[in-house]
Every structure is written in C-alpha cells, then in structure tokens.
Amino acid sequence: MTQLLAHRLDAIKPSASMAAKQRVDSLRAAGRPVVDFTIGEPDFATPPHIVQAGIEALLGGQTRYTASAGTPALRQAIAAKFDRENGLAYAPEQIVVGSGAKQIIFEALAATLNPGDEVIVPAPYWVSYPDMVALHGAVPVVVRCGEEQGFKLTSEALEQAITPRTRWLILNSPNNPSGAVYSREELEALAAVLARHPHVWLLTDEIYEHFVFGEARHVSILAVAPELQDRTLIVNGMSKAYAMTGWRIGYGAGPLPLVRAIALLLSQSTSCASSVAQAAASTALQGDQTCVNIASEVFEQRRDRMVGLLRQVPGLRCLSPDGAFYVFPSVEGLLGTRTPQGKMLASDLDVMMYLLDEAQVATIDGSSYGMPGYLRMSFATSTEQIGAGCAAIARAIGLLQPATASLSKENDHA
C-alpha cells in the first residue's frame, strides 16, 4: 500500500499543552481528582458584555461570511487599540484577523518560508513555534536562553544565530512558558542587531501583553524601534486578555504585502474567522477594560501565592515571573532521586509523571518548551487549587529518596 500521509508530518509532534489537557481529561473521566496546572487559558468566564455582543450579533443576523481579512469594524477596532495602547499607527488594511493568534502565525510562516530557510526561536519557547517552522520545510534555529539570562534572548546570542538563510526572529514577550518580559533597553539592543541585518524579519507575539506584574511593563519593540515596522508582524488575540479562548479570534498587523498574503491563504483555508466572534471581539476592544485590569490583578496575587509555596519545597528553584500566567520552576534538584517504588527520576519528564501519579497534580515538562530540567505550571486557576496542588507536590517530593540512600538500602538487602 502506498503511503498516504505527507512526509512533512514527520517533522512535527503533537502540541504538548493539548496533549496534557487530554491526559487530564482522561484521568478525570476515570474518577481521579487531578489538580490541573497545565491549562493555558484564563479560568474566568468571558465578560458578560462581550457575551451579550455575541448574542446580539446572532440575533441581528451577523451569521454570514466576512471578508477573509476580517470585518471592517473589527479591523478598525484593532487599529484603534494599537494607537491607544501601544502608540503604533496601523491602517485597517494592514491588519488581518484569523481563527486565533496561532493561525495568524501559521499562515505568516506559510506565506514566507521556503525549504532551507532558517527561523530563530529563543528557548524556552511556546511549543508550536518550532513545529510550525519545520512543517513549512524551514529550519528552527533554537537559541537557549537560560535562567541566568532571565530566560531572555541577548543581543550577542541573536547576532551569533543570524546567517544569510535567516528569515525570521520569533520573539514572545511576555513569554510562555517562563513569564519573562523584555525591558525597553533589552528590546533596543535586539533592534540594533536586526538593524544590521535587513534580511531578517521579526514576528513578535504579544498575546500576554496585559498580564505584567510589579515594576515590569510591556513594551512593543516597534515603540522603541519604529524603523523595523516595514519588516515586523505583530501577533495578538482575544484569548488571554478577554478570556475568549473558545471564540478563536487572533490578529496580526504588518506590512501590506504580508497581510494580503496571509489573507489570501485564509481565503483558501478557513475563508474567514467566525462572524459572531468578530462582532464580540469588536465590543471587547472598544468597551470597558476593567475586566482586563481585574484579571491582571488576580493573576498577580496567584503568582505570588504559587511562587511562595514552591520556594518552600526542597529541590525546586523558582523565579518569580514578570508576566503571563505561568511559573517555570527548575526541578534539577530532584534529578537522581528515587521514588518510593525505587524508580530514579532522570529527567523533567520523569518528575512530571511522578507528580501526576503520586500527587495527582498535572504539569508540563520543560523539555517540550526547549528547556529540559524545568516544569511549566499555570496559575490560571483558583487560589484554593494552587494551595492544594502545591501542598500535594510538597508531600510527594518529601517521599523521594536520594539516589545514594536508595543504593545503600539495595546493598543492605543484597
């Protein structure tokens, strides 16, 4: 039998975050009370005024196809948002709407990459970046940005990674999974490198922009380096700030030729994003932003709670994230220990599975984000769940034995 599936599928793997969600759902269906720290979406309901806008769109007959790039109303609302919140000027024609920010990134790469092109992906990275690059025949050039750099790309590392084949740099701030937020000075340094390499385009994913904590501030790189605007695609969406993950509305703003190319691909794939969801998104962007501010305050409180609890657990090391709604603790201090059953924890994947089996707490391994030795844990859940989950983690880790102790016991029984 001849092979049916395309060879390009060999280059990608399933989304780690979606796989984790399926694992949690399966365990819960089997009756296991799992504390879920894998979820990458706000646990709040979509604000009522946004839901009402969707209902009114349905009742008003806004249930037909829209232009592939999005409705004029939504594109105008997005342009106004960029002006109001980011100090950036975009015409509605420079904006394209898709079924989630993920689709905008996918189509942008599809429109621009040829086999052998390179895309610089700082690690830790959102799980889908490298696979989307590889799916289009290009090469993800992963640059490790360790804890010692605050999980952020330095200008020196960027300079070393650029080659004549580099097509894009993907930048994500605030970052999933680390919560790192680039400062104005750090962005200026990266922009200076890009200025020396005009063949490199910039894709900046800013979907967590409204969730920054303490003294941190979100700054769009184009606000500090407007000269890059003619080769930059800003990607954002409604999922995180407005708790609209299931509504599936994302958008991109960039040079007109690129926006038109993305819209062309959309016309031959999904045709357009949901008309009803676009109407609700227009209301979200133009309406009262109190819901966004409240969500950010709640997430900051949860961050402080989770970080405080995890720092009390021997073997864990946890930076306090400046943004998004994830912590990214190191579990390197647990590697080499043994479970009560005698199994050695040799990797972050082993630790993840041990916590799931012993503590009934679901996390995601850092290896899936290009950073072995860490776990991603979401605090987009209630304070009660954070307390219960961290307590269960502490109990489970308290049962671990040093490898040397386990070996001594084995020798005693020899």
In what order do the strands lie in the sheet containing 232-237?
Answer: 95-98, 250-253, 232-237, 201-205, 166-172, 118-123, 139-144
Q: What is the pLDDT of residues 343-371, one digit of tens each?
A: 999 999 999 999 999 999 999 999 999 99
Q: Which residue has the tokens 């960039």?
A: 254
**pLDDT (0 to 100) of residue 12:** 75
* pLDDT grade for 404, boundaries at 50, 70 and 90: low
Within the chain, which residue ranges are assigned CATH 3.40.640.10? 50-287
Pairing of strands 201-205, 232-237: parallel
Nearest CA-CA partner of 153 in 117, 133, 132, 129: 129
Q: Which residue has the tokens 């980011």?
A: 86
CA quadruple 199, 200, 203, 209: dihedral sign: negative
- Rounded CA-CA distance 86/206 in Å is 11
Q: Which residue has the tokens 């509605």?
A: 92
- How would DSSP label each residue in 318-330? -PPPSBTTEE--B
- Rounded CA-CA distance 141/143 in Å is 6
Q: Are 170 and 137 in contact (CB under 8 A)?
A: no
- Rounded CA-CA distance 8/262 in Å is 21
**pLDDT (0 to 100) of residue 410:** 42
Rounded to whole angstroms, the maximal C-alpha distance in the chain is: 78
What are the E-state strand segments in 338-412?
361-362, 364-365, 375-378
Q: What is the pLDDT of residues 261-297, one digit of tens each?
A: 999 999 999 999 999 999 999 999 999 999 999 999 9
What are the E-state strand segments in 157-211?
166-172, 201-205
Q: Are 121 and 131 in contact (CB under 8 A)?
A: no
Q: What is the pLDDT of residues 68-81, one digit of tens each?
A: 999 999 999 999 99
Q: What percent of the chain has pLDDT over 90?
A: 88
Q: Are 340 and 329 in contact (CB under 8 A)?
A: no
- Rounded CA-CA distance 239/40 in Å is 10
- How would DSSP label each residue in 92-161? GGGEEEESSHHHHHHHHHHHH--TT-EEEEEES--THHHHHHHHTT-EEEEEE--GGGTT---HHHHHHH
Q: What is the pLDDT of residues 306-327, one digit of tens each?
A: 999 999 999 999 999 999 999 9
- Rounded CA-CA distance 173/324 in Å is 9
Nearest CA-CA partner of 135 in 166, 165, 105, 161: 105
Q: Are 122 and 145 in contact (CB under 8 A)?
A: yes
**pLDDT (0 to 100) of residue 23:** 76
Which H or E element spans position 235? Answer: strand 232-237
* pLDDT grade for 18, boundaries at 50, 70 and 90: low
* pLDDT grade for 413, boundaries at 50, 70 and 90: very low
**pLDDT (0 to 100) of residue 408:** 43
> Which CATH architecture group holds 50-287?
3-Layer(aba) Sandwich (3.40)
The mean pLDDT of 379-406, rounded to a whole number, is 92
The mean pLDDT of 207-227, rounded to a whole number, is 97
Within the chain, which residue ranges are assigned CATH 3.90.1150.10? 7-33+291-412
- Rounded CA-CA distance 134/412 in Å is 51
> Which CATH architecture group holds 7-33+291-412?
Alpha-Beta Complex (3.90)
**pLDDT (0 to 100) of residue 409:** 46
What is the amino acid identity at position 333?
Answer: G
Phi and psi at 202, nearest 5°, equal -120, 125
- Rounded CA-CA distance 281/222 in Å is 24
Query: Is 301's pLDDT higher than 90?
Result: yes
337: burial class by Cβ within 10 Å (0-12, 13-18, 19+)? buried
Partners of 120 in beta bridges: 141, 169
Kindly report the number of other CB atoms within 10 A of residue 257's CB atom: 10
DSSP 358: I
What is the average pLDDT score of the chain?
94
